[in-house]
């Protein structure tokens, strides 16, 4: 009977629970706070815990050393699936959702952490300067300001009884209200630093309810106007943390060096929650060997330790030596908690107006880093962070500016371990109100100059300082970006220097050294840099942003560094930026592509288009071609020719701390791309800064017509800071000054060719080949070897390229548009045919180049000399006739071949694409690949795949049949299974477009391979530039600004039986017949 009664009771309980009463609270009045915290600049935190150093408490040293925070008994993750509801604006939000009986049965679910816009709720918005909402500070527009309502339950572990429970949100954007068990707990702003709340008094035994209300925009958004995707939600880890009545509250580590730079100055200040007597033990060790050990028992709430560490191992980005600090709190013999902190001893200072690390002059070879994942938005994971650091280290990047906000705490721990210098930036940007150095703005309305906003600024600066103060990788604090220079930033500078005198403070908006230790402008061009260095060298010049890497960019980067290394005051900068901020998206056809601004939401959504794609790597971290140029220019080992005729070269160790003994130095001599001799240098252990000459004992007998190159590489012997053994970190190539006399050959016995013509066509028949020319179009219409047709359409003059982003930025697409169709719209004025001798014929074509209205703008002459050998010499002459004509984008010819000719081999710079202002990383060699493989898919399609300093090129089928091309002496070439228009956007899509002109976002999925192969044979196309993407033009020496050009190249149909090298070497025969001025001005550009 007793059992039966219990069963009935249980059934009754289940029945009652299943009949739980849910409410919608539709007609229940809700009183908003007045003023609303999310629209009050003086309110940015309610009931939040004070910011403190990042740490994870464990219960043993072994746990702490393992470093897995989720294994700590003092932590409980609240990541995972939460209930979720999204409202379009605050007035429509479910005000009473924090009530336990609020009906959430029809709510959605969402993963935490996540940006709700990338998991199917609302849409991402990308803007640069302009706010994505109405600018009415501190108020936010009412009609559209989505609010995310989150709910879940949790239980507190039984073993936490008696402990305080802290609820930790790693990051929430943009602001949040918090309730626990229906009770309001607090409010927080600052979307990139933690929000912590002591929720102990709100807890109940068993199941607890947690409700979080997140506003997409708030008054905080006026301080978060960064150039990135505007995304919302709970974006970093959420967890509970048990904190005993005796617990660590905060700590600060000092790890400086003394003035000799030999001894470490260690200090530790520990702040504790202490109710009674508490013992704090601190053990500093080096790879398991105890260096110093401390212990204090006290009733105090602050305990301090300090010591000098003789002959301490120093930390630097090159040699990131770390000591382990274990802090243990005890009550008697009972261990209460244990934390671990990496300690790196280094000294950061300015000496003689130059930045020094541990007394050594260093170059900052940096990048800017946004928090971006192509699938997860602003939610980062360890794997991606590790990939970023590994790729940076592999490409000689030694510094990162956390633009424009603090990164997740784990990022700093990884940088400590693997070695990167960090500039840690506060989460402040108010660019939409104006910025210093960028024109006038109204200071009476700018938040940086209004006293009611001052505390909100200082709060953010203090947040990053407190969280990250113990990370040795941080060498400087940054107070923000493009945010004005009001009094608050002088107060902020003073606060930082008082609380942390061990580091520098930089501020891009500073107008003097009064509130910035470093001169850190953005996008200064070379003349401005030189002017500063020669006239006002009072601070180290380290640009916080330079070399804007948007699309196909980073031209003239070597020029930047030639100047930087000339002046001590210049010490580098941070490239903008690391990763293209594309979001992986699928179109209606199921094809994946990386979307950018304007691809989401209605057409009324503000957008700056593809201006978010400025990376050195793709969104998935694939290396883009211009990162290879950065790697070469940034390399920390220099090679110079001393006397190449004797094999004498010099090597300079440009590292500040690393001895070159970690490298093997490999050398190789090649002739026509084939290895002739190779070896390894000996005794290459150069101290930092040391230069030494080396005699390379190569041996070979020069052959006629062969070019010889010496290539040196510094290859890691063993793994080093994520870079694997065998990786090349520095390399150089030299052209050797050896050549043999060419064998004299005669053209007298060339096979006979037959020439015929009618009103429409000129036909030439030779031994095993034939050509035809269309008189009306002035175009080679056929080129056959045997019965195999090589052409769809013959070479036509080409003066255009698919505009790159820098072209749009400086208006080249409009300024030089007259040349876009000039070749296609040419008018034939004269066709002449001449039989020189039985084995030679010459066809001369004269054209008028006209503009869109038909007005003549230039004369163009093409001469085809056809030899009985099957060689065709093409000589082109160009002369402007119009007045005030703009520069030419490209000087070359384009032809189209059938699709089956899909293999490309070239002897020139490679293997990756290069341009005349971005080619130092592309060495001359013999390269082969598919035509399809030459296409680099920039996120917004544009010019790509160019190769410079090409001696010869073949485009063939897989059997080796096709066309041979040879520059006279050099050409630029490219080949694609597309026409130029496939890569072309007619108007810019970067948010700076002209009103009234439709913007069409184009993507990689818009580029479909065609059943053809196009080949560009160019004298040159202009460089890509890279100073910036909103006005900076390609440097003069890399442009086509002359009024007259002459150039030539050779074509020959080949088969698999032909010896291409022999064909190439006989090219000098054909130089005898044409104008000695055929090669043009600015030849130095073309020389190796």
Alpha-carbon distances of 486 from 267, 437, 512, rounded to whole Å = 34, 14, 13
Alpha-carbon distances of 925 from 905, 910, 1088, rounded to whole Å = 10, 7, 12
Give me the catalytic one of 337, 482, 913, 972.
482
Q: Which residue has the tokens 């991606």?
A: 384
Q: How far apart are CA 605 and CA 1074, in angstroms?
A: 59
Q: How far apart are CA 940 and CA 1002, in angstroms?
A: 6
Question: How many other C-beta atoms lie within 10 A of the C-beta of residue 984?
Answer: 17
Query: What is the DSSP code (8-state) at residue 514?
Result: G
* Type and span of the H or E element at 62: helix 61-66
Q: How far apart are CA 1012 and CA 389, in angstroms?
A: 41
Q: In terms of residues, how long is the chain?
A: 1088
Q: What are residue 869's phi and psi, to 5 degrees?
A: -75, -10
Q: How far apart are CA 839 and CA 346, in angstroms?
A: 76
- Give the residue from 935, 392, 916 showing the smallest Cα distance to 617: 392
The H-assigned helical ranges of 1004-1068 are 1060-1065
Pair of tokens at residue 244: 């005993």
Q: How far apart are CA 434 and CA 482, in angstroms?
A: 8
CA atoms within 13 A on the CB side of 861: 16
Told to judge if 508 belongs to the known catalytic residues of this protein, a careful annotator would answer no
Q: What is the CA radius of gyration of the chain?
A: 34
Q: How far apart are CA 605 and CA 585, in angstroms?
A: 18
Q: Order of strands, edge to edge, in the sheet holding 302-309?
A: 247-257, 264-273, 302-309
3-state secondary structure 871-910: EEEEEEEEEECCCCCCCECEEEEEEEEECCCCEEEEEEEE
Buried b (16+ CB within 10 A) or exposed e, 693-719: ebebeeeeeebebbbbbbbbbbbbeee
Told to judge if 32 belongs to the known catalytic residues of this protein, a careful annotator would answer no
Q: How far apart are CA 708 and CA 595, in angstroms?
A: 46
Q: How far apart are CA 974 and CA 129, in angstroms?
A: 37
Give me the catalytic one of 224, 508, 545, 913.
545
Q: Is the dihedral of CA 822, 823, 825, 828 positive or negative?
A: positive
* Type and span of the H or E element at 527: helix 526-535
Residues identified as active-site: 482, 545
């Amino acid at each position: 009977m007793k059992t039966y009664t219990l069963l009935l009771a249980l059934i009754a309980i289940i029945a009652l629970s299943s009949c739980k009463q849910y409410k919608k609270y539709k007609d229940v009045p809700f009183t908003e706070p007045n003023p609303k915290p999310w629209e009050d600049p003086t309110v940015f935190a309610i009931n939040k815990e004070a910011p403190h150093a990042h740490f994870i408490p464990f219960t043993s040293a072994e746990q702490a050393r393992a470093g897995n925070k989720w294994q700590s008994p003092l932590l409980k993750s609240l990541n995972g699936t939460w209930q979720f509801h999204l409202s379009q604006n605050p007035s429509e939000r479910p005000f009473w959702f924090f009530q336990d009986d609020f009906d959430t049965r029809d709510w959605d679910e969402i993963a935490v952490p996540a940006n709700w816009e990338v998991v199917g709720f609302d849409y991402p918005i990308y803007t640069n300067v302009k706010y994505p909402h109405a600018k009415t500070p501190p108020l936010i527009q009412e009609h559209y300001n989505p609010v995310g309502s989150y709910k879940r339950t949790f239980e507190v572990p039984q073993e936490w009884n008696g402990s305080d429970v802290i609820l930790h949100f790693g990051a929430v954007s943009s602001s949040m209200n918090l309730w626990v068990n229906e009770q309001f707990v607090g409010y927080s702003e600052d979307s990139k630093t933690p929000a912590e709340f002591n929720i102990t008094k709100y807890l109940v035994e068993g199941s607890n309810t947690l409700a979080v209300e997140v506003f997409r925009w708030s008054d905080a958004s006026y301080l978060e106007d960064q150039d990135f995707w505007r995304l919302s939600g709970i974006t970093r880890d959420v967890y509970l943390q048990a904190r005993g009545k005796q617990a660590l509250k905060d700590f600060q580590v000092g790890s400086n060096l003394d003035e000799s730079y030999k001894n470490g100055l260690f200090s530790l200040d520990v702040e504790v929650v202490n109710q009674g007597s508490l013992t704090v033990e601190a053990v500093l060790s080096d790879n398991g060997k105890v260096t110093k050990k401390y212990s204090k028992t006290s009733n105090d709430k602050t305990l301090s330790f300090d010591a000098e560490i003789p002959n301490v191992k120093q930390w630097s980005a090159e040699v990131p030596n770390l000591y382990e600090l274990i802090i243990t709190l005890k009550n008697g013999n009972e261990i209460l908690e244990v934390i671990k902190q990496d300690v790196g001893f280094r000294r950061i200072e300015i000496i003689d107006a130059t930045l020094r690390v541990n007394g050594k002059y260093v170059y900052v070879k940096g990048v800017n880093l946004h928090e971006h994942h192509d699938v997860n938005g602003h939610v980062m994971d360890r794997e991606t962070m590790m990939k970023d650091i590994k790729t940076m280290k592999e490409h000689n990047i030694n510094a990162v500016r956390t633009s424009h906000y603090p990164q997740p705490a784990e990022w700093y721990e990884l940088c400590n371990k693997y070695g990167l210098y960090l500039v840690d930036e506060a989460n402040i940007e108010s660019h939409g109100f104006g910025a210093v150095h960028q024109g006038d703005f109204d200071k009476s309305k700018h938040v940086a100059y209004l006293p009611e906003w001052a505390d909100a600024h200082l709060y953010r600066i203090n947040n990053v300082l407190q969280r990250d103060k113990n990370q040795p990788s941080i060498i400087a604090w940054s107070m923000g970006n493009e945010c004005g220079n009001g009094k608050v930033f002088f107060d902020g500078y003073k606060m930082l220097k008082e609380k942390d005198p061990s580091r520098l403070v930089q501020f891009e908006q500073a107008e003097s050294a009064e509130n910035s230790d470093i001169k850190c402008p953005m996008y200064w061009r070379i003349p401005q840099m030189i002017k500063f260095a020669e006239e006002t060298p009072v601070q180290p010049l380290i640009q916080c942003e330079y070399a804007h890497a948007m699309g196909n960019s980073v031209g003239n980067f070597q020029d930047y560094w030639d100047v930087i290394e000339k002046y001590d005051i210049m010490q580098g900068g941070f490239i903008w930026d690391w990763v293209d901020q594309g979001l992986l998206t699928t179109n209606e056809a199921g094809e994946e592509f990386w979307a950018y601004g304007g691809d989401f939401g209605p057409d009324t959504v503000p957008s700056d288009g593809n201006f978010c794609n400025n990376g050195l790597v793709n969104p998935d971290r694939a290396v883009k071609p211009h990162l290879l140029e950065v790697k070469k220019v940034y390399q920390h080992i220099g090679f110079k020719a001393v006397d190449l005729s004797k094999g004498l070269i010099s090597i300079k160790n440009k590292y500040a701390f690393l001895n070159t003994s970690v490298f093997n130095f490999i050398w190789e001599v090649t002739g026509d791309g084939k290895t002739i001799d190779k070896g390894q240098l000996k005794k290459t252990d150069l101290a930092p800064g040391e230069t030494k000459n080396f005699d390379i004992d190569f041996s070979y007998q020069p052959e006629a017509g062969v070019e010889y190159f010496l290539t040196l590489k510094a290859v890691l012997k063993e793994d080093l800071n994520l870079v694997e053994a065998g990786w090349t970190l520095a390399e150089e190539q030299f052209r050797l000054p050896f050549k043999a006399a060419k064998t004299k050959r005669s053209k007298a016995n060339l096979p006979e060719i037959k020439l015929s013509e009618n009103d429409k066509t000129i036909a030439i028949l030779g031994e095993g080949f034939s050509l035809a020319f269309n008189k009306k179009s002035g175009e080679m219409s056929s080129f056959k070897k045997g019965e195999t047709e090589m052409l769809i359409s013959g070479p036509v003059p080409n003066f255009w390229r698919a505009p790159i982003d820098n072209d749009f930025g400086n208006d080249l697409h409009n300024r030089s548009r007259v040349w876009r169709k000039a070749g296609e719209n040419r008018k034939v004025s004269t066709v002449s045919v001449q039989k020189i001798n039985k084995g030679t014929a010459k066809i001369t074509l004269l054209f008028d180049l006209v503009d869109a209205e038909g007005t003549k703008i230039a004369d163009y002459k093409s001469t085809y000399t056809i030899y009985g050998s099957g060689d065709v010499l093409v000589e082109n002459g160009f002369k402007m006739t119009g007045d005030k004509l703009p520069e030419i984008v490209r000087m070359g010819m384009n032809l189209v071949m059938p699709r089956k000719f899909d293999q490309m081999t070239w002897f020139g710079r490679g293997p990756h694409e290069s341009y005349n202002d971005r080619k130092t990383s592309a060495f001359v060699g013999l390269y082969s690949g598919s035509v399809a493989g030459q296409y680099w898919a920039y996120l917004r399609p544009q010019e790509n795949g160019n190769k410079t300093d090409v001696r010869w090129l073949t485009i063939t089928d897989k059997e080796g049949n096709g066309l041979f091309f040879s520059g006279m002496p050099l050409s630029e070439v490219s080949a694609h299974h597309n026409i130029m228009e496939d890569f072309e956007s007619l108007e810019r899509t970067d948010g700076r477009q002209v009103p009234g002109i439709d913007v069409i976002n184009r993507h990689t999925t818009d580029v479909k391979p065609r059943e053809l192969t196009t080949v560009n044979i160019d004298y040159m196309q202009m460089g890509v530039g890279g100073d910036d993407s909103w006005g900076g033009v390609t440097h003069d020496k890399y442009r086509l600004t002359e009024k007259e050009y002459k150039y030539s190249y050779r074509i020959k149909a080949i088969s698999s039986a032909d010896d291409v090298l022999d064909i190439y070497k006989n090219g000098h025969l054909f130089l005898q017949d044409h104008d000695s001025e055929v090669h043009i001005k600015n030849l130095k550009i073309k020389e190796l």
